[in-house]
A and B are shown apart, each in its own frame.
Chain A
Amino acid sequence: MSALRTPLAAWHETHGAKMAPFAGWLMPIQYEGILIEHEHTRRHAGLFDICHMGEFRIERPGADEALACAVSHNLDTLAPGRCRYGFLLNKEGGVLDDCIVYRFGPDFFMLVVNAACAAGDYAVLRERLPQSVALTDISAGTAKIDLQGPESALVLEGALGENFRDLPYFAFRKTDFHGARLLVSRTGYTGEIGFELYLSPDNVEALWTVLLRDSRVKPAGLGARDTLRLEAGLPLYGHELDERHSPAEANMGRMLTSKADYVGRAGAMTIRERLVPLCLEGRRAARNSDAVTLPDGAPVGRVTSGSFAPSLGCAIAFAWVNAAHAGNEHFVIRAARTGLDARRATLPFYTEGTARRQSS
């Protein structure tokens, strides 16, 4: 089966992007280079094509109560115009997907899900929601691009001619672009101030081009997205999150504040292993699946993501470590031909991010 193409795929190809298959889609990995795009996003603003992600609309009377029982998000405290990160769990409390719920009204929501999980998520939700609640996959009609970086609010204001600096973290607002609907949410994955922009596929290239006209913006690929989100200490589905691990094991227990009787609730706090952030001694990176051992060589876990961290100048990693040893300070990662000394870190790895700051 050939890979799906986003509405911006042709633009990427004509602008020198290195393209690769990701979750069934042909996606840009990098344009000028991962390090340049990473650093530019940390200092100014990066623009990401995230059209591959899935969006569902959930509406009609009863949607609020039904959705609260289908996902782990606390909807009681979620006001219209606000969005929240949380999980779709299986019955045992394992993570089927991580997703953001947007509340438009009392019984009207949007759910944004990972591309690789979208079909499965839809089937699970359709099963969990009563037929009286409408669940619509609006992914094909929804394009999504993300502007991330400390200057992103200023760039967006320049492009759209309205104030976005007062939009709070994890809030969203509807506006328009060229007379068509545009949804702007102040969310993201870089640890910097950022916005996720949802609009029709017909208009996405025009908005993409307008934003890139600002000299503060560079296009950035999935490579930079990975290094940025890892430095920000954010888990990635399929690496740090999966069906065999609970949100609590991934250090997300504090987010489980919903009082609803949601699927997986009983198992969501189960701890068998813990996701441990690690700083490595040098520049050499650990890779997914490398074994994690104690200094004496006893195996206690495995790496889920590892990379050289451009903003830190050393390598960092996440690893699943059995709960009994997750509090240890020192580990050795068995990489190809060598052992890498690793020390327990605190999150986020990169602490200078602007995400929660008042933008100016």
Chain B
Amino acid sequence: MSNNPTELLYSRTHEWARLEGEEAVIGITWFAQKSLGDITYVELPRAGDRLTAGTEFGSVESVKAASDLISPVNGVVVAVNTALENAPETLNTAPFGDGWLARVKLADNPKDLMAAAAYEAFCAAEKH
């Protein structure tokens, strides 16, 4: 289940991006949701918000912790997954699927993101 889909790109702060032409869908990884535990709240960006790679665009809270969401891409939010407001646990059950966070119109090509294999190695190193 932790298998990171090979079609996604990954950041060092455990967000993923799926590139779809000039847009990207972004979310948090299985590793991220597992580290947080049961997610009880998600603060999402709004449509129209300008995201900058490497900077915060929202937050997630679990019973025990709160964590900033860090954008993996530069661009403008065109849609957000508002279903998460009432069902934040979807981030635990389907972080790569129904738990997507936002769709972004890209300002440029994403930089400094990892492919699945490199991300897995990165997580393995971070665990120890």
Chain A residues close to B by CB (< 8 Å): 18, 29-30, 33-36, 223, 226-227, 282-285, 287, 307-308, 310, 315, 336-338
Q: Check if B41 is an interface residue, CB within 8 A of chain A.
A: yes
Q: Is B48 an interface residue (CB 8 A)?
A: no
Q: Is the CB of A336 within 8 A of B66?
A: yes
Contact of A223 among B37, B41, B88, B89 (CB under 8 A): B37
Given contacts A284-B43, A285-B61, A308-B61, contact A30 B66 (CB under 8 A): no
Contacts of B62 in A (CB 8 A): 34
Q: B126 to nearest A CB, angstroms? A: 16
A283 touches B38 (CB 8 A): no
A34 touches which of B38, B41, B43 (Cβ 8 Å): B38
Report yes or no: B63 in contact with A336, Cβ–Cβ below 8 A: no
19 extra interchain contacts, Cβ-Cβ under 8 A, other than A35-B63, A283-B61?
A: A18-B37, A29-B64, A33-B37, A33-B92, A34-B37, A34-B64, A35-B89, A223-B37, A226-B63, A227-B63, A282-B41, A283-B41, A284-B61, A308-B40, A308-B41, A308-B63, A315-B41, A336-B66, A337-B59
| Chain A nearest Cβ from B75, distance in angstroms | 21
How many A-B contacts if CB must be within 8 Å? Answer: 45
Contact for B64 among A223, A310, A338, CB less than 8 A = A223
Contact A307 B63 (CB under 8 A): yes
The chain A residue sitting closest to B58, CB to CB, is A337
Which residue in chain A gives the minimum CB-CB distance to B85? Answer: A283
Contacts of A223 in B (CB 8 A): 37, 63-64
Q: Do residues B63 and A283 form an inter-chain contact, with CB atoms below 8 A?
A: no
Least CB distance, B71 to chain A, in whole angstroms: 15
Cα A337 to Cα B64 in complex, Å, equals 19
Q: Determine the distance from Cα of A18 to Cα of B37 in the docked complex, in whole angstroms.
A: 10
CA separation between A348 and B38, bound complex, in Å? Answer: 24
Complex: chain B residue closest to A308, CB-CB: B40
CA distance A29 to B41 in the complex (A): 20
